[in-house]
């Protein structure tokens, strides 16, 4: 029963965040950087390749096998949930562009309703495959992309009642929608950020 409620919480929260943050999302996309370039030097054409940066961190000294095992689990969880968080970010951008192009409020509401059904059909089966720790991490990763806590986003766009509703459900699983993602001051978040950077760069 608790697992079913947890799935409902995750799916509903992700759908809410997708639509609420779409209204305030900066949709300007950065141009892609080319890695292979040509340069004319003293009459000769030289091909040069710009390599991606390599991030070097101080090796982690695990206190025991359990801590090492937890780190390995975090790496696996990030690899599983980070793509979903990026999909949500893509949905935010796509939805914002689509809503901005619609002339009437009626069309926007119809589109939002269609997207809500699509998101439920798409993400509910995937939420069922996540563990509790993966679900909690996914909420953090979505917060990381939006630069606001889930509670603030839901309260701003959906009202205090719905924000309190999701916060109550999250508390059942030891999570808090008000907790900020702070890799500069929170050790667990700092380790998560390190893993994210290395995974995104293909080093893990």
* Residues 6 or more apart whose Cβ sits within 8 Å of residue 171: none
Q: What is the pLDDT of residue 102?
A: 83
How many alpha carbons fall within 13 Å on the CB side of residue 166? Answer: 27
Six-digit token string for 58: 């101080």
Tally of CB atoms within 10 A around 64: 8
pLDDT value at residue 30: 42
pLDDT for residue 74: 95
Q: Model pTM?
A: 0.68
Cα→Cα distances 154→45, 122, 134, 137, 164, Å: 55, 21, 21, 18, 9
Q: 182-186 — which CB contacts under 8 Å span 24+ positions?
A: none
Q: Give the pLDDT of residue 42.
A: 75
pLDDT at 86: 81
**Residue numbers of the chain with a pLDDT score lower than 70:** 1-36, 92, 116, 146-148, 150, 153-159, 169, 172-173
The pLDDT assigned to 47 comes to 74
Q: Do residues 167 and 177 make contact, with C-beta atoms less than 8 angstroms apart?
A: yes
pLDDT at position 87 is: 82
Q: Are 73 and 137 in contact (CB under 8 A)?
A: no
């Amino acid at each position: 029963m608790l697992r079913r409620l947890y799935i409902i919480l995750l799916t509903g929260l992700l759908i809410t965040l997708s639509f609420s943050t779409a209204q305030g999302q900066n949709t300007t996309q950065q141009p892609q950087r080319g890695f292979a370039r040509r340069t004319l030097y003293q009459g000769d054409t030289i091909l040069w390749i710009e390599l991606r940066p390599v991030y070097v961190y101080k090796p982690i000294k695990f206190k025991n096998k359990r801590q090492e095992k937890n780190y390995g689990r975090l790496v696996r969880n990030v690899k599983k949930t980070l793509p979903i968080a990026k999909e949500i970010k893509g949905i935010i951008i796509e939805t914002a562009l689509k809503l901005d192009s619609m002339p009437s409020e009626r069309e926007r509401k119809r589109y939002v309703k269609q997207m809500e059904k699509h998101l439920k059909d798409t993400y509910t089966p995937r939420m069922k495959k996540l563990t509790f720790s993966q679900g909690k991490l996914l909420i953090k990763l979505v917060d990381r992309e939006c630069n606001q806590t889930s509670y603030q986003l839901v309260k701003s766009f959906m009202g205090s009642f719905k924000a309190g509703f999701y916060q109550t459900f999250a508390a059942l699983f030891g999570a808090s929608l008000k907790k900020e993602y702070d890799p500069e001051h929170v050790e667990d978040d700092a380790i998560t950020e390190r893993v994210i950077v290395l995974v995104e760069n293909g080093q893990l």
